[in-house]
Chains A and B, each alone.
Chain A
């Protein structure tokens, strides 16, 4: 099968070899069976549940006994539920706040940390410490820090008023946005740091020759070059924002009232606290659809799917 005529001149031999690549290279190629165990495992624990969430959204189930077909009942209840409608807006608001605050912040920090000065390396090592904490731990730490009775607000009345940041919608949302920023900015900073380091130095040298100052360089070279990183990071922010859960559960429990009940938390409440699993499944589906739709729109609008290279013409 792998006969190669040794007498053939090099040029012809190469062509022959290529026509035979299929044969030669198929020796020692793994069959698809190598992928089978992982695929089956993934199908069982991720794809089957994903299909079942659609099915369950048309069923009524209280956790005991068997689910029963309920038609559009869950969907009607969920879409008529003022708390649900409100939770969608709150999710979008928190996600929007997250993107609006974290994007500029992490771009600045990322570009700053991309410099190879010694002090920057030391400081960035500290900046990334929040990444070591789980979402639960972050929420617990900030919960202790912002406690109305024993935390910082109780000590700094001039800044925090009566100290109960969870008593009003605006401040409660502020706390959630702030804690998410603290938790996720380091991650996005890493994305921008990597991207900023990949910018060809020749661009800056050219700008320097042309007499462009630091700020012009930032706006005319750095920012456009970070375009792909920006899209990646913003999509992750949107998906992460819409599925924020631990922070709400631990810090506000959706309160005051339902003023911070975002959809991801409301899904948990409906399903696992009110034992209305059908409604929970419907809300979960709304969440997935929203996250997918927004990501797709972002990819389309930015032309990321066309994969325009930022180093074109270099």
Chain B
């Protein structure tokens, strides 16, 4: 049964394509323009020539440093999540007893805590701990707020491992540690890559914690660099947009090569 094409939906989708495409076009074309060209010809004009000055300019204004900081934060956050969440999910799925049920409830509750809710006491705690303006002070809370969603995703994956496999290993007298390393981890690869991408995105795109918990240029992350660029030299739109493009390149690469994991990571629990 062949259906006739839905023209109305087609037209609507083209309008949306225009709305999505316009800013992306402005962003990409602006990075090839000089500041005066952008101001004179307007944001919609095609670029006259080709220049990479905006990108090199972004590095001159310190974005190289910001990128290294963001990379460090991202790697550490992912590391903490990978260290803590698999054993946690393993316990949630396989352990019996009221304590683990309580733990699971706790993390479900944690899903509902917005960052804004805790930012004031977080500032107090981090300052008291002497971690203000220190990337460690950004890494720890960012990682903590990745835990509930990651735990839920990974528990979902681990629940799908068939009971017979666990029972077979139990028959062999395998210790929990052996079950974990030889059965659970190898069979949760899908969930693991999702939580890696999810927490990496949270860390890479994080803004509120760095905004409130750091101050100096040496601890600045990329998102904060963009915000500062905008407030201090917002008039240099091409330079600013070049920095934005640079900031999305790593995510774009993941999008191209690991689209499934990225989409699932983006969705977090929303997709569950």
Residues in A lying within 8 Å of B, measured CB to CB: 2, 24-35, 37-39, 41-50, 52-53, 55-56, 61, 67, 105, 108-109, 112, 120, 123, 126-137, 140-145, 147, 150-152, 154-155, 182, 186-187, 190-191, 194, 208, 214, 232-233, 236, 239, 242-243, 245-246, 249-250, 264, 267-268, 271-272, 277, 280-281, 284-285, 287-288, 291-292, 295
A152 to B123, CA, bound (A): 39
Q: What's the Cα separation between A37 and B19 when bound, in Å?
A: 46
Chain A residues with Cβ under 8 A from B26's Cβ? 141, 144-145, 152
Distance (whole angstroms) from the CB of B208 to the closest CB of chain A: 7
Given A24-B171, A155-B42, A190-B267, A49 and B21 contact (CB-CB distance below 8 Å): no
Can you name the residue of chain A whose Cβ is closest to the Cβ of B85? A38
Q: Is B212 an interface residue (CB 8 A)?
A: yes
Residues of B within 8 A of A151 (CB): 43
Give the shortest distance, in Å, between B142 (CB) and chain A (any CB).
Answer: 9
Closest 3 CB pairs of A and B: A45-B144, A134-B205, A52-B121
- In the bound complex, residues from chain A placing their C-beta under 8 Å from that of B116 are 243, 245, 264, 267-268, 284, 287
Indicate which residue in A31, A67, A142 contacts B124 across the interface (CB closer than 8 Å).
A67
- With beta carbons under 8 angstroms apart, the residue of B22, B27, B91 that contacts A30 is B91
- The CA of A137 and the CA of B249, in the complex, are separated in Å by 12
Say yes or no: A32 contacts B97, CB within 8 Å: yes
Specify which of B38, B113, B244, B251 is in contact with A140 (CB 8 Å cutoff). Answer: B244
CB within 8 Å of A: which B235-272 residues: 235, 237, 240-241, 244, 247-248, 251-252, 255, 263, 266-267, 270-271
Cα distance, A45 to B73, chains bound together (Å):
16
Distance between A187 CB and nearest chain B CB, rounded to angstroms? 7
Contact A31 B176 (CB under 8 A): yes
How many whole Å from A225's CB to the nearest CB in chain B? 17
Asked whether any CB of chain A lies closer than 8 Å to the CB of B48, the reply is no
Contact residue among B24, B88, B226 (Cβ-Cβ distance under 8 Å from A38): B88
- Considering only CB atoms, which chain B residue lies closest to A138 in the complex? B23
Instruction: Assess the A287–B114 pair: CB atoms within 8 A.
Output: yes
Question: CA separation between A102 and B190, bound complex, in Å?
Answer: 31
Given the known inter-chain contacts A53-B120, A133-B248, please indicate yes or no for A34 contacting B176, CB distance below 8 A. yes
Q: Report the nearest B residue to A154, measured CB to CB.
A: B42
CA distance A242 to B226 in the complex (A): 24
Q: How close is A17's CB to chain B, nearest CB, in angstroms?
A: 10
Main secondary structure of the interface of A (DSSP, over half): helix
Residues of B within 8 A of A26 (CB): 96
**Bound complex: CA of A130 vs CA of B247, how far in Å?**
13
* With A187-B270, A190-B263, A250-B230: A142-B44 Cβ-Cβ less than 8 Å: no
Q: In the complex the two chains form, what is the Cα distance from A151 to B42 in whole Å?
A: 7
Distance of A145 Cα from B225 Cα, bound (Å): 19
Q: Which of A29, A144, A190 contacts B43 (CB 8 A)?
A: A144
Residue B134, interface by CB 8 Å: no
Task: Please name all residues of chain B whose beta carbon is closer than 8 Å to the beta carbon of A52 when the two chains form the complex.
Answer: 118, 121, 124-125
Given contacts A42-B106, A145-B22, list 17 more A-B pairs with CB under 8 A: A25-B167, A32-B100, A35-B92, A42-B148, A47-B110, A126-B17, A132-B251, A134-B247, A140-B241, A140-B244, A141-B26, A143-B234, A144-B234, A150-B237, A154-B42, A187-B267, A267-B120
Give the contacting residue for A34; candidates B21, B87, B123, B267; CB below 8 A.
B87
Whether A38 lies near B252 (C-beta < 8 A) is no
Contact B270 A232 (CB under 8 A): yes
Check A142 against B147 for contact (C-beta < 8 Å): no
A294 to chain B, nearest CB (A): 12
Minimum CB–CB distance from A149 to chain B (whole Å) comes to 8
CB distance A48 to B125 under 8 Å? yes
Contact A49 B176, beta carbon cutoff 8 Å: no
Chain B: CB-nearest residue to A232: B270
What is the distance, in angstroms, from B30's C-beta to the closest C-beta of chain A? 7
A34/B88 contact (C-beta < 8 A), A129-B24, A136-B227, A141-B241 known = yes
Which A residues are CB-close (under 8 A) to B13?
A: 109, 112, 120, 123
Asked if B23 and A37 sit within 8 Å, CB to CB, the answer is no
Residues of A within 8 A of B9 (CB): 108, 112
- In the complex, whether B223 has a CB less than 8 A from a CB of chain A is yes
Q: In the complex, A289→B205 CA distance in Å?
A: 26
* Contact in complex: A291, B114 (CB < 8 Å): yes
Inter-chain CA distance A182–B113, complex, in Å, is 25
A144, B227: Cβ atoms under 8 Å? no
Provide a sorted-by-A list of 24 A–B residue pairs whose CB atoms are within 8 angstroms: A24-B171, A28-B170, A28-B173, A28-B178, A30-B176, A37-B84, A46-B113, A46-B145, A50-B121, A52-B125, A53-B121, A134-B223, A135-B205, A136-B227, A137-B247, A140-B244, A141-B244, A147-B234, A150-B39, A152-B44, A191-B271, A214-B6, A243-B116, A250-B230
Tell me, rounded to whole Å, the shortest Cβ–Cβ distance linking B182 to chain A: 11
B113 touches A50 (CB 8 A): yes
A141 to B234, CA, bound (A): 11
Give the one of A136, A239, A245, A267 with max B CB within 10 A.
Answer: A136
Residues of A within 8 A of B23 (CB): 141-142, 145, 182
The smallest C-beta distance from A112 to any residue of chain B, in angstroms, reads 5
